[in-house]
Amino acid sequence: MVRGAPLAGSVSAGFRKISLGKVVLGVTLLVVIFRMVRPESGPSVGSQARTFDLPWVSGAEGRLESRDLKGSVTVIEAFAGWCGTCKRNTPELNGVASAKRTQPVRVIGISFDSSADEARMTAGAWKLSFPVALADGKFRSEYQISILPTTVVVDASGVIRQSTSGAVDVSTLENWLRDLGAARY
């Protein structure tokens, strides 16, 4: 009676199939669970933009107030200098900010860096073509920012129309703007 090789090979191959299947199933379940429990970041779509008053640190003087959002479609990008995904979004946001459109679109950066100097350095290093204000605790709380980057699209009347966390695909952002009447030429 021979023990080992033939039986061990069959069991080993079967074990690999079961293990691989279990691994795939486990990873799939983890992805689904992560997506279900991942905290949302950003304000509720359909709500009125909350009031804020933040200091400009780059690209503009004085202060950014929530009332400044009314009158044109506005894209707000919440970011921080330590956020790699935020940095990778920069070229797309610069393109959105500089595009010729059927109606004006403002792109505003809200930095979650720890100081105005850090935010100013980030804006310069990343060559942001849009103005940047420095977030405070009230803004973070009122706008429910828990993940960076978070992108918020506000319509001309000050209503939140889109809110998403993580990298936003530029074609998705352009579709949102087109739906608000601010398509690229």
Assigned domain for 48 exists: no
DSSP 68: G
Q: Do 101 and 58 belong to one domain?
A: yes
What is the reported pLDDT for 41? 86
Residue ranges of alpha helices (H) inside 67-168 are 84-98, 116-125, 137-142
Number of compact structural domains in the chain: 2
Span 3-13, mean pLDDT? 53
**31-71: pLDDT as tens digits:** 555 555 545 789 999 999 999 999 999 999 999 999 988 89
pLDDT in tens, 121-153: 999 999 999 999 999 999 999 999 999 999 999
pLDDT of residue 9: 52
Q: Which domain holds residue 22?
A: 1-38
Residue 13's pLDDT is what? Answer: 53
CA distances from 125 to 10, 55, 81, 184 (A): 59, 19, 9, 27
